[in-house]
Structure 1
Amino acid sequence: MASNSITNEDTKEPDKRTAKQEKPRSEAQNEQTKQLIYVGPNLPGGRLSRFTVFMGSIPKHLDDLLEKQPEIEHLIVPVEELSRALARVNAPGTLEHSTFQYLSKGKE
Structure 2
Amino acid sequence: MTKPKNVAVNQAIELKPLEIKEETLDTAPKTENTELVIYIGDSLKNGKLEQFTVFNNGIPKFLAEDIEKCPAINSLILPISQLGESRQKLAIQGTMEHTLNSQITQYVRSEK
Scaled to the shorter chain, the TM-score interval is 0.5 to 0.7
Alignment correspondent of 1:24: none
Aligned to 1:53: 54
Larger Rg: 1
Quote the RMSD (CA, aligned, Å): 1.6
Q: Which has the higher contact order (CA 8 A, sep 6+)?
A: 2
Q: Return the TM-score normalized by structure 1.
A: 0.65
**Deviations along 1:40-90, whole A, 9 cap, x unmatched?**
111112211000000121111111111111111121110111001101111
Say if 2:39 is the partner of 1:38. yes
How many pairs does the alignment contain?
Answer: 79
Q: Percent same amino acid among aligned pairs?
A: 37
2:74, 2:68 → 1: CA distance? 10
Using the alignment, how far apart are the partners of 1:38 and 1:80 within structure 2? 12
**Aligned residue number for residue 91 of structure 2:** 90
Pair 1:75-2:76 in alignment: yes
Please give the alpha-carbon distance, in whole angstroms, between the structure 1 residues aligned to 2:74 and 2:40. Answer: 10
The answer for the alignment partner of 2:100 in structure 1 is 99
TM-score (norm 2): 0.63
Q: Which amino acid aligns with 2:89?
A: R
Instruction: Report how far residue 100 of structure 1 moved.
Output: 1.2
For structure 2, the residue ranges without an aligned partner over 5 or more in a row are: 1-30
Distance in 1 (CA, whole Å) between partners of 2:110 and 2:96 is: 16
Flag structure 1 segments of 5+ consecutive residues without an equivalent: 1-27
Q: Match for 1:101: what amino acid?
A: S
Task: Decide which structure has greater helix share.
Answer: 1
Structure 1 runs of 4+ off > 6 angstroms?
Answer: none
